[in-house]
């Protein structure tokens, strides 16, 4: 009885001491999370079984470039995280991949995110450009399964759909992307 | 007599644990904040010290009329302080642009109390809920105005969400 009590006490003490550093570490530096869904095929979950684990880098959310894979809070549902690829940054012009093919200016402080699997992805083509404040982390490595262990490379999404900020034709009087 | 290395190790562990606890408390439960904005006058004036409670954001306990700290949609490092006017499903009349706007799923409508000097949802539209940082619960300093933040009056431009057809 005494031994059980001692073990329980030790366990509780360990939890109290190790819990807050763990939460702080996952909030500030790195966190490992699973990937749900098929919107990032073929980069993540290529076989459609939700077993992929990715390492998310939480302190480099300020320097986001085109082609990075990021995780963000869904603008439609604040309790879920999405994982998408950045296609365009502020100032760029994107031709949306919807039935209207309207041309969107990405406003200041926003970015345009898309899944690699364009047919089954809920992304900026549905909800428009997202604010950079919603970005929670940058995905850098695949942790599991071991056969695909490695870094997640940047993939520049070139193509005629994105016009870079330097090449956008604007009128003579231009006040920035304050829309 | 314990070895000095054990003492050193223990003190390092306890220090890290203590600082992490402090960080988690300030980040997730509650802490102090200073408002550097005139858009919420007269409720919160420039330089007021307030008590903020992120816990009510994480557990989705926000109500219409609460004052919240929110990340600015244009620059993720700036924080704005506004009043929550409408939540998902509401229709708000935008008196700057002159038409009604629908607040979609997972979005909110923020407005400042100081209508003339506030850049808020009237100019950049509804914001995603994920941008909210914390609720502002108490005004701490100056002491003469210490107290809870009053929930705002029912705004004139808000249409509550209509009864859903399948509930009738």
What is the model's pTM? 0.83
Query: Is the Cα torsion angle B4, B9, B10, B12 positive or negative in sign?
Result: positive
pLDDT of res. B112: 87
pLDDT of res. A172: 58
Average pLDDT value for residue range A127-137: 91
pLDDT of res. A177: 58
For the annotated catalytic residues of B, the residue numbers are: 39, 82
> Cα–Cα–Cα angle for B147, B152, B154, nearest 5°?
155
DSSP state of B152: P
pLDDT of res. A176: 58
CA separation for the pair A82, A74 (Å, rounded): 6
What is the maximum alpha-carbon separation in chain B?
78
Distance from CA of A62 to the nearest CA of B (A): 9
Collect contacts of B72-75 with beta carbons under 8 A, ≥24 apart.
B72/A109, B72/A133, B73/A109, B73/A110, B73/A131, B73/A133, B73/B124, B73/B127, B73/B131, B74/A107, B74/A108, B74/A109, B74/A110, B74/A131, B74/A178, B74/B124, B75/A108, B75/A109, B75/A132
**How many C-beta atoms surround the C-beta of residue B150 within 10 A?**
10
**Average per-residue pLDDT in chain A?**
85
- Substitution target in B16, B20, B89 with the highest count of A β-carbons within 10 Å is B20
> Cα–Cα–Cα angle for B130, B133, B136, nearest 5°?
135
**3-class state of residue A100 by DSSP:** coil
Q: Are A108 and B123 in contact (CB under 8 A)?
A: no
The percent helix, strand, coil of chain A (3-state, each to 5) is 25, 30, 50
Question: Torsions phi, psi of B144, nearest 5?
Answer: -65, -25
CA atoms lying within 13 Å on the CB side of residue A15:
6
**Percent of chain B at pLDDT exceeding 70:** 94
Band (pLDDT 50/70/90 cuts) for residue A158 is low
Interface of A with B (CB under 8 A): 17-18, 20-21, 23-25, 27-28, 61-62, 72-78, 107-110, 130-135, 178
pLDDT of res. B168: 44
Q: Are B109 and B87 in contact (CB under 8 A)?
A: yes
Residue A178 has pLDDT above 70, yes or no: no
pLDDT of res. B167: 47
Give A-chain residues touching B107 at CB under 8 angstroms: 75
Please indicate whether residue A132 or residue B116 has the higher confidence score (pLDDT): A132
- Substitution target in A75, A91, A122, A177 with the highest count of B β-carbons within 10 Å is A75
Any residues with CB less than 8 A from the CB of B21 and at least 6 apart, and which?
A20
With CB atoms and an 8 Å threshold, state whether A76 touches B14.
no
- Low-confidence residues of chain B, pLDDT below 50? 163, 165-168
> Cα–Cα–Cα angle for B121, B46, B114, nearest 5°?
40
Using CA coordinates, name the residue in chain A closest to B16: A21
Tell me the per-residue pLDDT of A30-73, one tens digit each, with 9 for 90 and over: 999 988 888 888 888 888 777 889 999 998 888 888 889 999 99
Please indicate whether residue B20 or residue A162 has the higher confidence score (pLDDT): B20
Q: Are B73 and A131 in contact (CB under 8 A)?
A: yes
**How many C-beta atoms surround the C-beta of residue A110 within 10 A?**
27
CA atoms lying within 13 Å on the CB side of residue A110:
25
CA separation for the pair B40, A143 (Å, rounded): 46
CA separation for the pair B113, A91 (Å, rounded): 31
pLDDT of res. A174: 61
Alpha-carbon separation of residue A163 from A89, A101, A110, A177 (angstroms)? 10, 14, 15, 14
Please indicate whether residue A177 or residue A108 has the higher confidence score (pLDDT): A108
């Amino acid at each position: 009885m005494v031994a059980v009590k001692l073990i329980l006490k030790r366990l509780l003490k360990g939890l109290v001491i190790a819990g807050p550093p763990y939460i702080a570490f996952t909030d500030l530096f790195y966190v490992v999370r699973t990937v749900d869904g098929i919107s990032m095929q073929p980069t993540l979950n290529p076989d459609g079984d939700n077993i992929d684990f990715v390492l998310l880098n939480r302190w480099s959310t300020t320097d986001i470039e085109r082609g990075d894979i990021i995780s963000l809070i869904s603008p439609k549902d604040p309790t879920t995280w999405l994982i998408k690829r950045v296609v365009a940054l502020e100032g760029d012009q994107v031709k949306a991949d919807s039935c209207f093919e309207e041309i969107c200016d990405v406003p200041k402080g926003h970015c345009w995110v898309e899944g690699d699997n364009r047919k089954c992805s809920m992304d900026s083509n549905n909800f428009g450009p997202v604010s950079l404040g919603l970005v929670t982390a940058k995905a850098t490595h695949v942790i599991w399964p071991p056969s695909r262990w490695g870094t997640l490379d940047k993939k520049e999404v070139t193509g005629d759909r994105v016009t870079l900020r330097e090449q956008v034709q604007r009128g003579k009087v231009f006040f920035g992307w304050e829309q | 007599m314990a070895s000095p290395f054990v003492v050193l190790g223990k003190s390092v562990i306890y220090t890290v644990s203590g600082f992490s606890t402090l960080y988690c408390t300030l980040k997730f439960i509650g802490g102090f904040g200073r408002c550097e904005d005139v858009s919420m006058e007269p409720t919160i004036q420039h330089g007021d010290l307030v008590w903020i409670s992120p816990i009510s954001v994480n557990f989705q306990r926000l109500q219409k009329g609460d004052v919240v700290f929110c990340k600015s949609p244009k620059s993720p490092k700036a924080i704005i302080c506004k009043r929550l006017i409408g939540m998902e499903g509401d229709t708000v009349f935008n008196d700057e642009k002159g038409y009604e706007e629908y607040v979609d799923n997972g979005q909110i409508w923020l407005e400042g109390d100081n209508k003339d000097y506030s850049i808020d949802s009237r100019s950049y539209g509804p914001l995603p809920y994920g941008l909210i940082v914390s609720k502002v619960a108490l005004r701490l300093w100056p002491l003469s105005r210490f107290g809870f933040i009053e929930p705002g009056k029912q705004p004139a431009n808000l249409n509550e969400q209509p009864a859903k057809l399948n509930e009738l």
